[in-house]
């Protein structure tokens, strides 16, 4: 912090300017007396003539114009994606063709809170606890495939509370058991390529059949699976699932109560809920199920992944079927 009586504090500038303007000193004499350059002496004398004492204070160093600043319309698109879709700077940047650091500066300028500091449901600020994150990625596709099951309640005919309102949604559900989908997912660790099916249960025969079809899907894409990582669910501990894996695929399991170890498929589950299951109000479960193949295709072929620097999983799997469609 500058002392109030320092040589070129506002008080020192005022003394210099008054020597030139009020006392009639030559700018060169005032510059020598106050040990500053002639340009500095003339600057403060000119400001004193134009603005008086108010001109002696510091001004902002921000330029009056910036021809390379992001257009205001583009800034509104950045903030709109942040608010409506809760995307981070990297995801927004890849969508709009911008640099992540530029998006981060825009979000900071508009005082947008970090996503970890807001509630996912309401967007209200919350206190977040920082934790150390350990990330890993295998070097080649097929080195490890993450497998998991996500349980999802079915929508009643006429829509749930998001469509019909809270009271009507309860009425649609009253006395009727709509049941659940058990969404079986397999995600390649290196490419994030995902294979997913909506199945009626999580029994061992169902899990084994799912893996047989998933393995065939990866093989058709040119991926030879070497390891499979699952949690410790009963269906994955069964002989049926072991037989489906065969002798060439090694089965690895996560530690108990450590879902972050299977983080690739856990992140896919979250993306699936945000961008398909709860992306918009559905009037029936049939409508939502019909939208699932479109979401899965978009995820694998077109959706930019932040861990892949904006590229979709298809960019890391050259032999993926339908890649150019």
The pLDDT assigned to 68 comes to: 84
- Are 245 and 170 contacting, i.e. CB atoms less than 8 angstroms apart? no
pLDDT tens for the 325 residues of the chain, in order: 556 556 788 888 999 999 999 999 999 999 999 989 999 999 999 999 999 999 998 888 888 888 888 999 999 999 999 888 888 898 899 889 999 999 999 999 888 877 766 666 556 666 555 556 677 889 999 999 999 999 999 988 777 666 555 555 555 555 566 789 999 999 999 999 999 999 999 999 999 999 999 999 999 999 999 999 999 999 999 999 999 999 999 999 998 888 788 889 999 999 999 899 998 889 889 999 999 999 999 999 999 888 888 889 999 998 775 444 4
- Are 268 and 185 contacting, i.e. CB atoms less than 8 angstroms apart? yes
Q: Are residues 48 and 77 in the same domain?
A: no
> Quick check: is 119 in a domain?
no
Q: Are residues 275 and 302 in the same domain?
A: yes
Q: Are residues 166 and 79 in the same domain?
A: no
Q: Are residues 101 and 179 in the same domain?
A: no
Q: Are residues 156 and 300 in the same domain?
A: yes
Q: Which of 319, 299, 320, 293 is nearest to 311 (CA)?
A: 299
> Quick check: is 324 in a domain?
no
User: Which positions ≥6 away from 127 have C-beta within 8 Å?
Assistant: 117
> Quick check: is 135 in a domain?
no
> Quick check: is 311 in a domain?
yes
Question: Hunting for tokens 């399991």 — which residue is that?
Answer: 253
Q: Which of 144, 228, 260 is nearest to 191 (CA)?
A: 144
Q: Are residues 161 and 310 in the same domain?
A: yes
Quote the pTM value: 0.67
Q: Are residues 49 and 93 in the same domain?
A: no
Q: What CATH number is given to the structural domain containing 264?
A: 3.30.420.10
- List the structure tokens of 5: 């009586």
> Quick check: is 214 in a domain?
yes
Question: Hunting for tokens 């059949």 — which residue is that?
Answer: 209
The pLDDT assigned to 83 comes to: 86
Q: Which of 84, 12, 73 is nearest to 44 (CA)?
A: 12
Q: Are residues 78 and 29 in the same domain?
A: no
Residue 241 to residues 143, 234, 256: CA-CA distances in angstroms? 19, 10, 19
Q: Are residues 153 and 196 in the same domain?
A: yes
The pLDDT assigned to 243 comes to: 95
The pLDDT assigned to 63 comes to: 81
Whole-number Å distance between alpha carbons of 296 and 321: 13
Q: Are residues 191 and 294 in the same domain?
A: yes
Q: Are residues 187 and 88 in the same domain?
A: no
**Domain hosting residue 103, numbered range:** 72-113
Sheet of 250-253, strand order: 194-199, 180-188, 145-153, 227-230, 250-253
Q: Are residues 92 and 29 in the same domain?
A: no
Overall domain count for the chain: 3
User: What's the CA angle centered on 245, arms 243 and 251, to 5 degrees?
Assistant: 115
Alpha helices, H only, 175-284? 204-220, 239-245, 263-272
């Amino acid at each position: 912090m500058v002392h109030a009586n320092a040589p070129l504090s506002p008080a020192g500038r005022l003394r210099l300017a008054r020597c030139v303007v009020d006392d009639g000193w030559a700018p060169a004499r005032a510059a020598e007396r106050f040990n500053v350059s002639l340009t500095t002496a003339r600057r403060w004398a000119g400001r004193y003539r134009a603005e008086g004492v108010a001109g002696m204070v510091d001004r902002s160093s921000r330029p009056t114009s910036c021809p390379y600043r992001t257009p205001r319309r583009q800034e509104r698109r950045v903030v709109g994606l942040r608010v409506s879709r809760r995307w981070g700077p990297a995801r927004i940047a890849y969508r709009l063709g911008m640099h992540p650091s530029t998006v981060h500066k825009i979000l900071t300028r508009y005082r947008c809170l970090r996503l970890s500091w807001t509630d996912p449901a309401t967007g209200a600020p919350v206190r977040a606890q920082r934790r150390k994150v350990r990330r890993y990625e295998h070097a080649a596709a097929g080195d490890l495939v993450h497998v998991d099951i996500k349980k999802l309640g079915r929508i009643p005919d006429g829509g749930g509370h998001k469509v019909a309102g809270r009271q009507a949604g309860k009425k649609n559900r009253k006395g009727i058991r709509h049941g659940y989908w058990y969404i079986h997912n397999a995600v390649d660790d290196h490419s994030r390529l995902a294979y997913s099916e909506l199945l009626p249960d999580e029994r061992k025969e169902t899990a084994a059949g799912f893996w047989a079809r998933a393995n065939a899907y990866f093989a058709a894409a040119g991926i030879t699976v070497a390891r499979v990582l699952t949690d410790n669910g009963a269906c994955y501990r069964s002989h049926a699932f072991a037989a489906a894996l065969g002798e060439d695929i090694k089965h690895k399991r996560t530690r108990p109560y450590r879902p972050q170890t299977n983080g690739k498929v856990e992140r896919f589950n979250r993306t699936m809920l945000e961008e398909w299951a709860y992306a918009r109000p559905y009037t029936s479960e049939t409508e939502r199920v019909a939208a699932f193949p479109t979401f899965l295709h978009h995820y694998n072929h077109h959706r930019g992944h932040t861990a892949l620097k904006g590229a979709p999983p298809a960019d890391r799997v050259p032999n993926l079927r339908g890649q150019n469609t």
